[in-house]
């Protein structure tokens, strides 16, 4: 019987560790992303999950889609889940230089 109790405690500790290290951070990131998408609106520049940069022209909350203008006369319809982050040219340029320019790495660490 004591072996069963000890085994149960170990399993519960492992499940608790898994929950706190894997599940909880993913839930937090999901909530943060949903809040970001909820605050978006027409005119905001975004980067999609595929790396496409564009400007939101309209959003449909009911269907979970957004129309994104990626070039003059070219508009695509994407899922709002694919809108990953705002487009900030300076930030994108800085991250593109990390690994190539040592000064960029230091600057990226300061801004993080």
Burial of 47 (0-12, 13-18, 19+ CB in 10 A): middle
In whole angstroms, what is the distance from residue 41 CA to residue 106 CA?
Answer: 33
Residue 57 near residue 45, CB atoms below 8 Å = no
| Domains of the chain from N-terminus onward | 2-84 (2.30.30.140)
**Percent of the chain surpassing pLDDT 70:** 94
| Token pair 């605050």: residue | 39
| Token pair 């005119």: residue | 43
Helix or strand holding residue 31 (H, E): helix 24-39
Give 24-72 pLDDT, tens digit per residue.
889 998 899 888 888 899 999 999 999 999 999 999 988 999 999 999 9
């Amino acid at each position: 019987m004591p072996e069963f109790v000890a085994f149960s405690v170990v399993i519960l500790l492992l499940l608790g560790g898994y929950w706190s290290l894997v599940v909880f951070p993913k839930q937090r990131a999901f909530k943060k992303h949903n809040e970001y998408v909820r605050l978006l609106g027409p005119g905001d520049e975004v980067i999609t999950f595929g790396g496409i940069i564009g400007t939101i022209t309209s959003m449909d909350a009911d269907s979970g889609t957004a129309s994104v203008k990626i070039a003059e006369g070219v508009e695509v319809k994407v899922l709002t889940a694919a809108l990953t982050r705002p487009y900030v040219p300076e930030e994108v340029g800085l991250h593109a230089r990390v690994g190539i320019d040592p000064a960029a790495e230091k600057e990226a660490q300061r801004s993080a």
